[in-house]
Structure 1
Amino acid sequence: MSKVLVVVDMQKDFVDGALRNEEAIEIVPYVKEKIRKAKEDGTKVIFTLDTHDEGYMGTEEGKNLPVPHCIRGSEGWKILDELEPEKYGDEFFEKETFGSTALARYFTENKEETDEVEFIGVCTDICVISNVLLTKAVLPNKVITVDAAGCAGVTPKAHRTALDAMKACHIRVINEGQAAEA
């Protein structure tokens, strides 16, 4: 396997849906090209999907973020069409909260075959950082990278804070100063 690209929650609700984010809209062409190049280079591509059910508003997250989003099967739950997940995705992990225990389990089970993991997606300060740190916990001696140009936070300040926090945890952060361009 060697290298893996994890695309975190590039779903319609996080980009132009219920939780619309201008920074997320801006990174879409960059993310699309990053995925295409990864597959061209033989990199495995994993997509995570934030996944809630109709009872979302009664959950702890729903009480703190009272905006129904990524309801399983809804249009907003789907990965952006332009990312061509059916063409490029090797694995898909649904997650009911910020971090995916299934993704962490996957890396635990494939520790020997994994040399490097790179992350892109949204939101840098919530789901990206959660999945990066879970992965670092199960792959402490592997290179874990975050491509800042392929990530967007809830706000630019939150994005920056999350990048700094990940660097403090020995995560390699690349393309910090670049605008998200394809």
Structure 2
Amino acid sequence: MNNNRALIIVDYSNDFVAPDGALTCGKPGREIEQFIVNRIEEYNNSQDDIFFTMDLHYEEDTAHPENDLFPPHNIIGTSGRELYGRVNDIYQRIQYNDFVHFLDKTRYDSFSGTPLDLMLRERNIKDIEIVGVCTDICVLHTAVSAYNLNYNLTIPKRGVASFDENGHQWALNHFRNSLGAAVEQ
């Protein structure tokens, strides 16, 4: 029942959200969990496409540019890379639906080096909603690419979080004022 829309959940992993995560955004990340679960349920019930995009790193990968910026995180094969909490629970339940997709990404941007744009276009999807973490890093870079690829954007304020409140607020304004995104309250 594709309504030409998709939900993209960015990096909602244990390392980015759990209290003991390697690069956690802390309480703000956990506070958006129920909102994300509700959005997944709505898209699942309407059989609209759902994309889980997940940061992927390898242990001792000295060539990755993030190594100089952040501690090791989302290492393949670790529990830190698993989806967090109830988002993981719902993913386990719906993952075999043909409209649910899981894409690994090795850069902030969910489009960079992934088949995301091709998959959206194959499905005639024009409207995307982005939720997840971190607002001012991976969500931001994904949103900029989506804008440059001419997608209509919704980025719910209650569905994104960051460890940097100033960066979070700046990104929300950027989504609205520079990308023309609907930033619902």
TM-score, structure 2 as length reference: 0.85
Unaligned runs of 5+ in 1: 176-182
Deviations 1:76-123 (A, max 9, x none): 0011241122333411111111012245x4324543611310000000
Deviations 1:29-49 (A, max 9, x none): 221122112211222110010
Stretches (4+) displaced over 6 A: none
Instruction: Give, in angstroms, the shift of residue 159 of structure 1.
Output: 0.8
Unaligned runs of 5+ in 2: none
The answer to whether the 8 A contact 2:8-2:128 is kept is yes
TM-score, structure 1 as length reference: 0.86
User: Which residue matches 2:152?
Assistant: 143
Which residue among 61, 64, 78 is the counterpart of 1:59?
A: 64
The answer to whether the 8 A contact 2:43-2:50 is kept is yes
User: Which residue matches 2:75?
Assistant: 71
Identity %: 25
Matches within 5 A, 1:18-33: 18-20=22-24, 21-33=26-38
Separation in 2, partners of 1:113, 1:134: 17
Aligned residues: CA RMSD:
1.8
Residue 81 to residue 143, structure 1, CA distance change in 2 (3 Å): same
Higher relative strand content: 1
Matches within 5 A, 1:96-115: 96-100=106-110, 101-103=112-114, 105-108=115-118, 110-111=120-121, 113-115=124-126
Q: Which deviates the most, 51-60 or 41-50?
A: 51-60
Residue 109 to residue 19, structure 1, CA distance change in 2 (3 Å): closer
User: Which residue matches 2:164?
Assistant: 155
Residue 58 to residue 102, structure 1, CA distance change in 2 (3 Å): closer
The answer to whether the 8 A contact 2:106-2:113 is kept is no
Count of residue pairs brought into register by the alignment: 171
The answer to whether the 8 A contact 1:36-1:88 is kept is no
Q: Which amino acid aligns with 1:88?
A: I
User: Which residue matches 1:88?
Assistant: 94
Separation in 2, partners of 1:124, 1:47: 16
Q: Which deviates the most, 54-63 or 146-155?
A: 54-63
Separation in 2, partners of 1:130, 1:95: 12
User: Which residue matches 2:44?
Assistant: 39
